[in-house]
Amino acid sequence: MVNKNSEETNLNSDQGLLAAGLKEEKETELFLHDRFMFMQNADGNPASVFLVFEMISSRRYETKDDLTGEYEDNIRYFPDFISRLLKRIHPEDRSAADSVMEQVMRECMDYRRPYRTTIEARLCSGSAQEEYRWYKIDFLLTPGPKLPDYFLLLQITDVEDRKAEELLLIEKARTDPLTGLLNREAFEEACHRKQEKATKDKLYGFGFIYIDRFKNIIDRYGYPYADKVICQFAETFKALMNTGDHCGRLGGDTFVICMDGHGNFEYLKERYRIVKASLDRDIENNQSFTVSIGVVPVTGVQILSRGCSCFDAVYQMADFSLRRAKGNGGDRIVYYNPSMDEELKAEQNIQDEEQREFIAQTQSEPEISGEPAPVHIRTFGYFDLFVNGNPVPFNHAKAKELLALLVDRRGGFISSKEAIGFLWEEETSNKRTHARYRKVAMWLRETLEKYGVGDIIENHNGNRRIIPEKVSCDLYRYFEDKNNPDSRFRGSYMLNYSWGETTYNDLNQAED
């Protein structure tokens, strides 16, 4: 005979277990939904894929928020899904993706704690293996609402448009806006990467190239025509460069290239002869152009022995060779050789001594109560500000560039609109850029006031200028007396900024 009380007890127990199970499942659903919303809101873009895996078993955990995208067929286990995902990643992004996955699996196996990581990579679609788009792949590891549950939430978001804008900004920051060649910073980075991969049998030719008497073209035909000539020269450079070569523009009428000599000096010389022959030509208006080139042959042995200091030394040698070529009448190639070492060293010693004398002079000046600190501004070479003989560090690069722009105006006022045109050459003057400019001007004022020299800038209704009488500047001294040994122009001006080429041309004209 069946005991009815026993049946009722078992039924109630089963119902209780079912209710408890449903409650736990509901709690898990709500928990995972909250995490899904967190990941969605954190990125701001709708996800194309959202999946959850229970990492104790590696099985997929289905939720109402699931988005399977192109991965609809038979997604059951995390390792299988990741294997399919990695096959779609662009080969250049695969190493970074593997590293992220290794860290994710390490967290799963060793710690089982909350952990989040993200990678951006190019993925190809299932239908077109050759077409890649940028996606953000977001991993969120989290313990569940009850132990020992441990979940991985995976979200894939299309970020092609944002990534394209970022890459464009990066490219603009690395290139000369007029020619599209590498700017100085990007060229140096490329050369440093070449140093890191150098072997003993390598031979490179590092060269400075200068368009002879280019200021005559500017004076006769104006800057628009001169810019056109510069661009035509740049296109010639691009056509002559082989894979692994680099070319850049230092500003004005000076270019820099690094070409592979494949271990043979005669081959390297022939390459530079071709470069010069290609640039020495008629362009328009019956104008003939010649170039002066200073070249430093650099061997792999030299690179490996000198390490990171090699580029700085080579840069000085190339500059010295170019000045030798220009000083001998131009229209020639001068290769640096060991016989020039003593002359270059003597020149550097003079420059070092002049710098030491200046610092000693400013530091030894007696402090007068109420008098401003001595301010020196260097524009020949790289732009820098010194107070009491010490260089002033700027936390914001644009604030330093604004000061350089004011110095370049030599006491003239510059409006907000004009400054924006120089500081952000590729952007128009609008509310956003004006707000950005006001912040830059504030940073500049705060930096100057911090060092007690805020009064060197005058502000009149948003128009700003530097007060020349309150600073010592090599540029200003040069135009007062170019024969002054304390302010000699050595062929470079504000190398930090491409917009300095107008004054650079004025300086070259004054030299001639």
292 and 189, same structural domain?
yes
DSSP 3-state of 290: coil
429 and 504 belong to one structural domain: yes
- Residue 465 inside a domain? The answer is yes
Asked if residue 324 and residue 455 are part of one domain, the reply reads: no
| 45 domain-assigned | yes
For residue 23, pLDDT beyond 60:
yes
pLDDT at 372 over 70: no
**Residue 485, pLDDT score:** 63
Contact present, 439 and 419 (Cβ < 8 Å): no
CA 417 from centre of chain: 25
pLDDT tier for residue 370 given thresholds of 50, 70 and 90 = very low
pLDDT recorded at residue 303:
55
Q: Verify that 156 and 185 share a domain, yes or no.
A: no
Q: Maximum Cα–Cα distance for the chain, whole Å?
A: 124
**Do 503 and 475 share a structural domain?**
yes
Q: Which of 295, 313, 336 is the last residue of a domain?
A: 336
Q: Does 373 share its domain with 417?
A: yes
Q: pTM for this one?
A: 0.52
Looking at the fold, whether 136 and 192 belong to one and the same domain comes out as no
Residue pair 260/240 in contact (Cβ under 8 Å)? The answer is no
d(CA 53, CA 67): 13
Question: Within a domain: residue 15?
Answer: no
Contact 159, 45 (CB under 8 A): yes
297: CATH: 3.30.70.270
Identify whether residues 155 and 191 lie together within a single domain: no
Asked which of 142-151, 191-200, 276-285 is least confident by mean pLDDT, the reply is 191-200
Average pLDDT, stretch 385-400?
88
Strands 203-211, 291-299: parallel, antiparallel or unpaired by DSSP? antiparallel
Total domains in the chain come to: 3
Tens-place pLDDT, residues 226-271: 888 899 899 999 999 998 899 999 877 889 999 998 889 999 999 9
Is residue 357 scored above 70 in pLDDT?
Answer: no
What pLDDT does 43 receive? 54
Which of 139, 140, 141 minimizes the C-alpha distance to 56? 141
Residue 75's CATH number? 3.30.450.20
Give the structural domain span for 458.
367-511
Mean of pLDDT values over 418-438: 80
Q: Are residues 118 and 219 in the same domain?
A: no
We report the CATH number of the domain holding residue 486 as 1.10.10.10
Task: List residues bridging with 59 in a β-sheet.
Answer: 54, 77
- For residue 417, tell me if it sits in a domain: yes
Residue 330 sits in the same domain as residue 200: yes
**Residue from 104, 30, 98 nearest 64 by CA:** 30
Asked if 321 and 401 sit in the same domain, the reply is: no
Q: Is residue 341 included in any domain, yes or no?
A: no
Lowest mean pLDDT among 68-72, 79-83, 125-129, 507-511: 125-129
The predicted model gives 422-426 an average pLDDT of 76
* Residue 238 is assigned to a structural domain of this protein: yes
Q: Does 172 reside within a domain?
A: no
Q: Is 335 helix (H, G, I), strand (E, B) or coil?
A: strand
> Last residue of some domain: 98, 132, 164?
164
Per DSSP, the residues of 156-171 read EEE-HHHHHHHHHHHH
Q: Does residue 12 surpass a pLDDT of 70? A: no
Q: What percent of the chain has pLDDT over 90?
A: 25
Q: For residues 184 and 330, state if they share a domain.
A: yes
Averaged over 20-39, what is the pLDDT?
Answer: 79
Among 156-170, 212-226, 253-267, 364-378, where is mean pLDDT lowest? 364-378
Banded pLDDT at 350 (limits 50, 70, 90): low
pLDDT digits over 432-453, tens only? 788 888 889 989 999 999 889 9
Which of the listed residues 336, 351, 378 is the one where a domain comes to its end? 336
| DSSP code, position 468 | G
- Whether 1 is in a domain gets the answer no
The reported pLDDT for the residue numbered 307 is: 47
